[in-house]
């Protein structure tokens, strides 16, 4: 592609992007293609000769777009939002154009030093302890893997990275039955095995029971198993439960175990001083992860890991083969020593654009809005005889069940809820997902898209009632 053609096509693409975002509400939220629909429109092999941009872009619109689920749709209430914002998108365009590998200070000093400053800005914004060092990771899953590795390194006095697990004692990780699957995945990748992940029971609010945690640690110690890491949730994925961080931190400290707090979704809400009371004890954790790519208007991927003692993780992960010897880097760390991959995208740039563009107060206002909408919706659900509020409002997440009239068998109510979610998502006007709590189906409603206003929430709720046959 010649430079002048690049310029022309870039204008075409940005015009398309602006229009896409302006008119996104007119689209259905979840794609309605059937499995294989996209694949069958794609040639079996790569073309031998280059094709014109116009043809490629037309196929993007005709073939690819129908198979997209629109995550930036303001009536997207499924999973947790992976929200973006215009300043973040603009920064990503610049990042893509420069396409730098930001693995060492020398491979882009600005990337290292901006990452340094952005993680400090976020530390202040979230009210996190002063000494914690941040690094930007691709995902919370990788960050949690890093925390588990740090825990193993500490628990074994460095044997974990020197000799591996073979021949040593078994190591165990402790988390709650509500925790995200990435805790078990990280434990498996670190070599601990699923048999050594203890899923501690939860209370009526789905939060970890500290007494059960203490007992599990004691049982393992008795059996010669070494506790390596506790992973507590600040906003678990199912229903947003918040583990009692204070009591858990006390147990971790007393037992000398690394405590990691997974705040992938809810962590962003700590920019609100009124939310911080829910995270009492977080200051005693050894590491913490949250995803600006979920609820801080910075598009995927952008996950920030804070470590109280980065040296332990760096000991486990750092290697300097001859081909990576580089110039001295001043104060900024070599972030590759704190991440799994060597190559690193320049993710700090989009954070810089977003934080400056909205300002702290602009960000707080958005998240406060989402939380307020959720509280208002919870009142409507509670007042509705055809529905039962099961959980929340917890920040911007609530869980509810449809109660079809005259049905009392819980399994039958489950089926009605499963069917309702399927009908809602096939309909396309809004998008919700479900989870299970106490063995029963619960519909989740998460409010967090950048441009969601109350009217979108009200429209989404009206669709739920209409398709339940009560609207």
Ligand X SMILES: *Cc1c(COP(=O)(O)O)cnc(C)c1O
Q: CA 61 to CA 15: how far, in whole Å?
A: 14
Report strand pairing: 303-307 vs 133-137. Answer: antiparallel
Nearer to ligand X, 108 or 391 (CB): 391
CB of 366 to ligand X, least distance (A): 19
With contact defined as beta carbons under 8 Å apart, do 178 and 240 qualify?
no
Among 69, 139, 161, 357, binds ligand X (CB under 6 A): 139
Q: Is 182 in the site for ligand X (CB under 6 A)?
A: yes
Nearer to ligand X, 429 or 434 (CB): 434
Q: Which tokens is 85 given?
A: 């914002």
Nearer to ligand X, 77 or 80 (CB): 80
Q: Is 135 in the site for ligand X (CB under 6 A)?
A: no
Q: CA 227 to CA 317: how far, in whole Å?
A: 20
Give the residue from 289, 321, 352 showing the smallest Cα distance to 104: 321
With contact defined as beta carbons under 8 Å apart, do 71 and 81 qualify?
yes
Q: Given the rule CB under 6 A, which of 83-91, 118-126, 137-145, 449-457 is the region that contacts ligand X?
A: 137-145
CB of 339 to ligand X, least distance (A): 13
Q: Is 449 in the site for ligand X (CB under 6 A)?
A: no
> CB under 8 Å to 97, separation ≥6 — which residues?
none
Q: CA 311 to CA 318: how far, in whole Å?
A: 10
Instruction: Name the 3-class secondary structure at 322.
Output: helix
Question: Across the beta sheet with 440-446, what order do the strands follow?
Answer: 387-394, 397-402, 440-446, 433-437
Nearer to ligand X, 208 or 467 (CB): 208
Give the residue from 341, 346, 300 showing the smallest Cα distance to 95: 346
Map the footprint of ligand X across residues 63-102, applying CB under 6 A: 80
Nearer to ligand X, 266 or 381 (CB): 266
CB of 394 to ligand X, least distance (A): 12
Binding mask 16-35 for ligand X (x = CB under 6 A): --------------------
Nearer to ligand X, 288 or 353 (CB): 288
Nearer to ligand X, 107 or 177 (CB): 177
> CB under 8 Å to 244, separation ≥6 — which residues?
207, 208, 210, 281
Binding mask 276-295 for ligand X (x = CB under 6 A): ---------------x----
Q: Is 187 in the site for ligand X (CB under 6 A)?
A: no
With contact defined as beta carbons under 8 Å apart, do 169 and 124 qualify?
no
Q: Is 264 in the site for ligand X (CB under 6 A)?
A: yes
CB of 358 to ligand X, least distance (A): 21
Nearer to ligand X, 265 or 306 (CB): 265
Q: How far is CA 289 from the centre of its chain?
A: 9
Nearer to ligand X, 178 or 286 (CB): 178
Q: Is 229 in the site for ligand X (CB under 6 A)?
A: no
CB of 6 to ligand X, least distance (A): 32
CB of 145 to ligand X, least distance (A): 9
Map the footprint of ligand X across residues 161-180, applying CB under 6 A: 180
CB of 278 to ligand X, least distance (A): 14
Question: How would you label 47-74 residue by residue, b for 16+ Cβ within 10 Å and e otherwise?
Answer: eeeeeeeeeeeeeeeeeeeeeebbbbbb
CB of 302 to ligand X, least distance (A): 9
Map the footprint of ligand X across residues 298-357, applying CB under 6 A: 303
With contact defined as beta carbons under 8 Å apart, do 147 and 183 qualify?
no
Dump the DSSP string for 353-418: HHHHHHHHHHHHHHHHHHHHHHHHHHHHHHT-TTEEEEEEEETTEEEEEE--TT---HHHHHHHHH
Q: Given the rule CB under 6 A, which of 5-13, 117-125, 168-176, 260-268 is the region that contacts ligand X?
A: 260-268
Nearer to ligand X, 203 or 388 (CB): 203
Q: Given the rule CB under 6 A, which of 30-38, 118-126, 138-146, 275-283 is the region that contacts ligand X?
A: 138-146
CB of 466 to ligand X, least distance (A): 29
Nearer to ligand X, 437 or 468 (CB): 437
Q: Is 237 in the site for ligand X (CB under 6 A)?
A: yes
Q: CA 360 to CA 346: how far, in whole Å?
A: 22
Give the residue from 278, 272, 285, 299 showing the smallest Cα distance to 235: 278
CB of 149 to ligand X, least distance (A): 16
Nearer to ligand X, 23 or 181 (CB): 181
With contact defined as beta carbons under 8 Å apart, do 65 and 19 qualify?
no
> CB under 8 Å to 54, separation ≥6 — which residues?
none
CB of 183 to ligand X, least distance (A): 8
Among 71, 132, 206, 265, binds ligand X (CB under 6 A): 265
Q: CA 101 to CA 127: how far, in whole Å?
A: 31
Binding site for ligand X (CB under 6 A): 80, 139-141, 180, 182, 233, 235-237, 262, 264-265, 291, 303
């Amino acid at each position: 592609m010649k430079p002048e053609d690049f310029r022309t096509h870039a204008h075409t693409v940005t015009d398309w992007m602006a229009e896409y975002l302006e008119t996104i509400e007119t689209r259905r939220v979840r794609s309605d293609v059937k499995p294989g629909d996209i694949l069958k429109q794609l040639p079996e092999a790569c073309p031998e000769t280059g094709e014109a941009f116009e043809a490629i872009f037309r196929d993007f619109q005709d073939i690819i777009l129908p198979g997209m689920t629109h995550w930036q749709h303001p009536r997207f209430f499924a999973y947790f939002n992976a929200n973006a914002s215009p300043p973040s998108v603009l920064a990503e365009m610049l990042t893509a154009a420069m396409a730098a590998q930001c693995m060492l200070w020398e491979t882009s000093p600005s990337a290292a030093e901006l990452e340094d400053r952005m993680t400090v800005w976020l530390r202040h914004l979230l009210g996190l302890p002063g000494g914690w060092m941040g690094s930007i990771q691709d995902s919370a899953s990788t960050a949690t893997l890093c925390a588990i590795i740090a825990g193993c390194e500490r628990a074994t006095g460095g044997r974990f990275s020197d000799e591996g697990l073979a021949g040593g004692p078994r190591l165990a990780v402790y988390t709650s039955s509500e925790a995200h699957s990435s805790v078990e995945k990280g434990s498996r990748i670190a070599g601990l095995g699923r048999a050594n992940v203890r899923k501690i029971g939860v209370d009526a609010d789905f939060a970890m029971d500290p007494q059960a945690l203490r007992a599990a640690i004691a049982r393992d110690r008795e059996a010669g198993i070494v506790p390596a890491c506790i992973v507590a949730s600040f906003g678990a994925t199912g229903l947003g439960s918040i583990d009692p961080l204070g009591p858990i931190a006390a147990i971790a400290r007393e037992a000398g175990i690394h405590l990691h707090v997974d705040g992938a979704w809810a962590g962003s809400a700590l920019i609100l001083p009124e939310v911080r009371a829910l995270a009492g004890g977080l200051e005693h954790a050894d590491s913490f992860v949250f995803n600006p790519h979920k609820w801080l208007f910075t598009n995927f991927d952008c996950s920030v890991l804070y470590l109280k003692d980065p040296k332990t993780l760096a000991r486990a992960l750092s290697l300097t083969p001859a081909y990576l010897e580089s110039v001295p880097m001043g104060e900024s760390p070599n972030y590759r020593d704190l991440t799994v991959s060597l190559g690193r995208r320049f993710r700090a740039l989009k954070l810089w654009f977003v934080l400056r563009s909205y300002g702290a107060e602009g960000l707080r206002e958005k998240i406060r809005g989402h939380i307020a909408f959720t509280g208002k919706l919870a009142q409507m659900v509670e007042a509705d005889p055809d529905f039962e509020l099961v959980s929340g409002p917890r920040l911007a997440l609530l869980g509810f069940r449809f109660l079809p009239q005259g049905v009392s068998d819980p399994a039958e109510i489950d089926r009605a809820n499963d069917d309702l979610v399927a009908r809602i998502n096939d309909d396309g006007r809004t998008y919700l997902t479900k989870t299970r709590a106490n063995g029963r189906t619960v519909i989740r409603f998460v409010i967090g898209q950048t441009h969601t206003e109350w009217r979108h929430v009200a429209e989404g709720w009206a669709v739920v009632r209409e398709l339940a046959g009560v609207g």
